[in-house]
């Protein structure tokens, strides 16, 4: 079975984890810092805080901004639940702005339509690895005095139009990555928040660890070396050293992962060009995506088959597919809690009706890629 995504683990990854298991520290040891420094080196950000998963990272990133109870934040409907749930955890009302029909990313023009007196935050999501139009988004943020958190769960290794790397926070206050196994690099479960702001960095460190600090500069008193203070209500969102060692080892392969993902995408795009019922994704030429997903649009009505039928028939041929994403405001919780209804986000909803993600991961062999192309073309012929 060729799944839609899969981790790539080699002997060096296994050795890295086993070495930690044989060491003194399974958590809060040297690898966590080493991994965080490596993310800073790769992205160009000043600070990095690793966390237990990206949902936790988004939770504390919003919390660190201290937006208050009546704030609203804007994100895209075409995302995983975590991009907006993180606002709900923090009593920030999630508002959605429709997507661009070509990039499937949040449309900056739509963002401006949803800004009110209460809007305090933007959470653009680099869907499938494709960077959002961050220059425009950061200009909107400056104009209305908004904070920005980039949800880069899909986008480690991707580059903005200016060539710099997603995660450097030149357009945002913080950026959040996910290292779930289907993502570009993995730590099993895991995530990281990058920032260039020292105060936010200190706050994130605290919130990751029960709201506590041992930092002498931050303590209100210092009776001895055992002493710590809880200065905010935080969580246990720490990453283990096994995970961090795996993450560090995975980062050493990031260039290879990106190259291989882009090779597969180029091959797919060439093979699927001009197909009748299937539209390949578009990458604007200024940016460079690390392509977490290969999201195609299929005209199921014209094809005369439902998406479930297509998924089942491809599965019968050994090809796994997935759907990204059910628009978040159409979920029952969002409808009941915030009053969203079907039809509020027509571009994202139409996109969703036609979406299917085909297999894409660096461990696919050339034969796997050719097989997916052959079977997909045969199917649509």
Ligand X SMILES: Cc1ncc(COP(=O)(O)O)c(C=O)c1O
- Residue numbers of the site for ligand X (CB under 6 A)? 53-55, 79-80, 82-83, 125, 151, 153-154, 178, 180, 191
CB of 275 to ligand X, least distance (A): 27
Q: Where are the alpha helices (DSSP H) in the chain?
A: 11-21, 30-43, 54-65, 82-89, 108-113, 134-144, 198-208, 241-251, 254-272, 300-303, 307-316, 332-338, 346-353, 366-380
Structure tokens at 360: 């894409």
In the bound state with ligand X, the residue whose beta carbon lies nearer, of 57 and 369, is: 57
CB of 151 to ligand X, least distance (A): 5
In the bound state with ligand X, the residue whose beta carbon lies nearer, of 347 and 373, is: 347
**Cα–Cα distance for residue pair 218/144, rounded to 1 Å:** 32
In the bound state with ligand X, the residue whose beta carbon lies nearer, of 76 and 159, is: 76
Task: Identify whether the C-beta of residue 124 lies closer than 8 Å to the C-beta of residue 103.
Answer: no
Q: 368: phi > 0 → left, psi -120 to 50 → alpha, else beta; which?
A: alpha
Phi, psi of 176 (to 5 degrees): -120, 130
Q: Helix 366-380 vs helix 307-316: angle between axes, to the nearest 10 degrees?
A: 130
In the bound state with ligand X, the residue whose beta carbon lies nearer, of 356 and 369, is: 356
Task: Identify whether the C-beta of residue 281 lies closer than 8 Å to the C-beta of residue 266.
Answer: no
Task: Identify whether the C-beta of residue 373 lies closer than 8 Å to the C-beta of residue 267.
Answer: yes
**Cα–Cα distance for residue pair 115/319, rounded to 1 Å:** 42
**Cα–Cα distance for residue pair 132/86, rounded to 1 Å:** 20
In the bound state with ligand X, the residue whose beta carbon lies nearer, of 324 and 369, is: 324
Provide the CB-side half-sphere exposure for 285 (13 A, CA): 0
CB of 160 to ligand X, least distance (A): 17
List, in sequence order, every residue forming a beta bridge with 193; answer none if it has no partner. Answer: 49, 176
Active site residue 270: no
Catalytic one among 22, 46, 170, 183? Answer: 183
CB of 80 to ligand X, least distance (A): 4
Q: Which H or E element spans position 121?
A: strand 119-123
In the bound state with ligand X, the residue whose beta carbon lies nearer, of 79 and 159, is: 79
User: What DSSP character marks residue 288?
Assistant: B
Residue 255: Cβ within 10 Å count: 11
User: What DSSP character marks residue 98?
Assistant: P
Burial per residue of 303-313, b for 16 or more beta-carbon CB atoms within 10 angstroms, e otherwise: bebebeebbee
Active site residues: 183
């Amino acid at each position: 079975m060729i799944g839609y995504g899969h981790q790539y683990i080699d002997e060096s990854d296994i050795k890295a984890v086993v070495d930690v298991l044989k060491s003194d520290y399974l958590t809060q040891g040297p690898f966590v810092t080493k991994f965080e420094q490596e993310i800073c080196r790769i992205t160009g950000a000043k600070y990095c805080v690793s966390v237990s998963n990206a949902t936790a990272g988004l939770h504390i990133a919003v919390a660190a901004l201290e937006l208050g109870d009546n704030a609203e934040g804007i994100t895209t409907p075409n995302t995983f639940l975590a991009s907006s749930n993180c606002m709900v955890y923090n009593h920030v009302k999630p508002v959605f702005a429709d997507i661009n029909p070509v990039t499937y990313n949040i449309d900056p023009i739509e963002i401006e339509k949803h800004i009110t007196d209460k809007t305090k935050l933007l959470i653009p999501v680099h869907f499938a690895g494709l960077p959002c139009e961050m220059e425009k988004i950061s200009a909107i943020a400056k104009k209305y005095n908004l904070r920005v958190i980039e949800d880069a769960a899909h986008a480690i290794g991707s580059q903005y139009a200016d060539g710099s790397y997603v995660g450097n926070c030149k357009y945002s206050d913080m950026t959040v990555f996910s290292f779930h196994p289907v993502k570009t690099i993995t730590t099993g479960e895991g995530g990281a928040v990058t920032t260039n702001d020292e105060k936010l960095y200190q706050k994130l460190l605290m919130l990751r660890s029960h709201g506590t600090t041992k930092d002498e500069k931050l303590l209100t008193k210092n009776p001895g070396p055992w002493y710590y203070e809880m200065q905010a209500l935080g969580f246990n969102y720490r990453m283990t050293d096994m995970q961090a060692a795996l993450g560090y080892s995975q980062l050493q392969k990031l260039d290879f992962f990106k190259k291989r993902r882009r090779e597969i995408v180029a091959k797919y795009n060439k093979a699927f060009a001009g197909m009748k019922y299937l539209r390949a994704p578009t990458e604007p030429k200024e940016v460079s995506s690390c392509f977490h997903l290969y999201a195609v649009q299929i005209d199921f009505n014209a094809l005369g088959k439902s998406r479930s039928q297509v998924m089942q028939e491809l599965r019968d041929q050994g090809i796994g597919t997935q759907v990204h994403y059910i628009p978040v405001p159409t979920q029952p919780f969002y409808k009941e809690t915030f009053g969203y209804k079907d039809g509020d986000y027509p571009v994202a909803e139409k996109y969703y009706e036609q979406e299917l993600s085909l297999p894409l991961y660096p461990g696919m062999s050339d034969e796997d890629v050719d097989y997916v192309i052959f079977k997909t073309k045969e199917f649509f012929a």
